[in-house]
Amino acid sequence: MDLPATPPFVLRGRLLTPLGGGGTRFERDGLLAVDAGGRITFAGAAGERADLIEGALDVRPWVLLPGMVDLHAHLPQLPNAGLGAGMDLLAWLERYIFPLERAFDVPTAERVAPAAWRAFAAAGTTTALVYGAVYEASLDATFRAAEAHGIRAIVGKVMMDRVTYDPTIDPSSILDRTLAESARLIERWHGAADGRLRYAVTPRFAVSCTAELLRESAALAASTGAYWQTHVSEDQGEIAEVARLFPEAIDYVDVYDRAGGLGERSVLAHAVHLSDRELSRLVETGTRVAHCPISNLFLASGVMPLGRYLDAGLSVGLGSDVAGGPDLSIFSVMRVGFYAQNARRVAGFETGPVLSPLDWIRLGSMAGAEALGLEDAIGSLETGKEADVIAVDPAFIAPISGIADEDPDDLASRLIFRAHPDMVRAAWVRGRRLEGPGAMVTPP
Ligand SMILES: [Zn+2]
């Protein structure tokens, strides 16, 4: 029997999910029922719903999990993933990233974007908040690919009015033009595919944006209900450059605060080196942070003091930051994040584990949904939510011992520390199966 491509369906498998109200549900013999509209009508123990068992597709011992949420990635950069380890951020952008984004025209987008969305799904990511390139038409192509693929995507056209790589643009008119292009993209795509596609107004970061662009972009997001995303406090060279460019600002976070960019619809990537003042300002305003530990070590940017941020009440989810991070898998992000926090422990900055494996699974799913304000729709496998689901084959994470009666923390630990590129065998958004999982290997 084939895996279901469209709803309704019932799957019988192991079930592991964070719960919206806190805690975790783990069923060794679980059922997940999805109605014709792609909503979960039951997620729990098979024993509770004997009536559903007969019509269920039995995928045991596969593990059913909520689809992962990637809060930060750069789609046009995917072809250069893995290049430039250990370089400084600003030098790496010049060498590996700006040339790639400069070339991201429509034909390139039509080639790269469908493959990128399949790669996200293959990694177990069903919701992605991503940056595109600067060209309006390439964003249309990127959205069209997401529309056809079925992934849940929030995308934005990168805005830069200084240190830009766009050769077509007249510096004197760049601000008006990039705002007008973003506004048209919002009209076309924010809320498209019945809300599955959304728009994020995307000033790249303070180094490549004037105060005016930051302010106008934040106003555009506020007036349209779109998200607003940018980078903050990633590495020391960048922080020093921002201080030089914005002498009037108290600190890096204040640059965005003055622009009206902070708030619950704003996602800032990295935030590695926040002062206490910056941290409390982000907490006060409800601003979201995308934690990208792979990228932060790949580019030697730093190690986020995650425990201090979480204790302060900061909203944190996970991001791959491809291609600052070489790996799209949020499970890999969890693993490197865990190791990085252990390194802080070795160095004497922490006294114990900052988060358990199950806490990391929550960070990559439920916390990501909360960061996007989508906690009522996705992030966990619970009745009433939309069926954004992945199925993981445990043969990849425990090939010798297999998994038998592990407790949920042990299973989470294997998913993170034994994560395998092929372990995600299927992914669904709203009960519709996505292309990508199980089909990544193509002959040369
Ligand atoms: Zn980034």
Q: What is the pLDDT of residues 293-311, one digit of tens each?
A: 999 999 999 999 999 999 9
Helix (H, G, I), strand (E, B) or coil at 228: strand
Q: What is the pLDDT of residues 318-341, one digit of tens each?
A: 999 999 999 999 999 999 999 999
Q: How far is the CA of 406 from the centre of ligand 1 (A)?
A: 36
Q: How far is the CA of 72 from the centre of ligand 1 (A)?
A: 6
pLDDT at 343 over 90: yes
Q: How far is the CA of 71 from the centre of ligand 1 (A)?
A: 10
- DSSP one-letter code for 37: T
Q: Taking CA 196 as the corner, what is the angle to CA 192 and CA 201, rounded to the nearest 5 degrees?
A: 70
432-433 vs 424-429, strand pairing mode: antiparallel
**Cβ(362)–Cβ(18) below 8 Å:** yes
Q: If you average pLDDT over residues 213-230, what whole number do you get?
A: 98
Q: How far is the CA of 322 from the centre of ligand 1 (A)?
A: 7
Q: If you average pLDDT over residues 269-287, what whole number do you get?
A: 98
Residue 314 one-letter amino acid: L
Q: If you average pLDDT over residues 174-201, what whole number do you get?
A: 97
Q: How far is the CA of 84 from the centre of ligand 1 (A)?
A: 14
pLDDT band at 1 (very low <50, low <70, confident <90, very high): low
Output the pLDDT for position 441: 47
Q: How far is the CA of 130 from the centre of ligand 1 (A)?
A: 9
β-strand partners of 9: 34
Output the pLDDT for position 126: 98
List all residues 6 or more positions away from 140 whose beta carbon is below 8 Å from its beta carbon: 106, 185, 188, 189
Task: For residue 271, give both structure tokens.
Answer: 């935030």
Output the pLDDT for position 90: 85
383-411 core/surface letters (b: 16 or more CB in 10 A; e: else): eebbbbbbbbbbebbbeeeebeebebeeb
Task: For residue 305, give both structure tokens.
Answer: 């003091």
Q: How far is the CA of 49 from the centre of ligand 1 (A)?
A: 45
CA–CA dist 168, 174 (Å, integer): 10
CA–CA dist 67, 411 (Å, integer): 16
**Cβ(149)–Cβ(126) below 8 Å:** no
Q: How far is the CA of 74 from the centre of ligand 1 (A)?
A: 6
pLDDT band at 399 (very low <50, low <70, confident <90, very high): confident
Q: How far is the CA of 293 from the centre of ligand 1 (A)?
A: 12
Q: How far is the CA of 379 from the centre of ligand 1 (A)?
A: 22
Average pLDDT, the chain: 95
Kindly report the three-state secondary structure assignment for every residue of 161-176: CCCCCCCCCCHHHHHH
Region of poorest pLDDT, from 159-173, 200-214, 297-311: 159-173
- DSSP one-letter code for 79: G
Residue 311 one-letter amino acid: D
**Cβ(272)–Cβ(233) below 8 Å:** yes
Region for 179 from its dihedrals, namely left if φ exceeds 0, alpha if ψ lies in -120 to 50, beta otherwise: alpha
Q: How far is the CA of 231 from the centre of ligand 1 (A)?
A: 6
Q: How far is the CA of 73 from the centre of ligand 1 (A)?
A: 6
Q: How far is the CA of 234 from the centre of ligand 1 (A)?
A: 9
Q: What is the pLDDT of residues 100-145, one digit of tens each?
A: 999 999 999 999 999 999 999 999 999 999 999 999 999 999 999 9
Q: If you average pLDDT over residues 242-247, what whole number do you get?
A: 98
For 346, phi and psi rounded to 5 degrees? -60, -35
Q: How far is the CA of 432 from the centre of ligand 1 (A)?
A: 29
**244 or 353: which carries more pLDDT confidence?**
244
CA–CA dist 126, 146 (Å, integer): 11
Cα atoms in the 13 Å half-sphere on the side-chain side of 290: 31
Q: How far is the CA of 270 from the centre of ligand 1 (A)?
A: 8
Token pair 């090939």: residue:
399
Q: How far is the CA of 269 from the centre of ligand 1 (A)?
A: 6
Q: How far is the CA of 417 from the centre of ligand 1 (A)?
A: 24
Closest residue by Cα to residue 42 from 27, 21, 59: 27
The distance from CA 211 to its chain's CA centroid, rounded to whole angstroms, is 27
Q: What is the pLDDT of residues 70-89, one digit of tens each?
A: 999 999 999 999 999 988 88
Output the pLDDT for position 163: 67
Output the pLDDT for position 52: 96
Q: How far is the CA of 91 from the centre of ligand 1 (A)?
A: 14
Q: How far is the CA of 206 from the centre of ligand 1 (A)?
A: 13
Output the pLDDT for position 405: 64
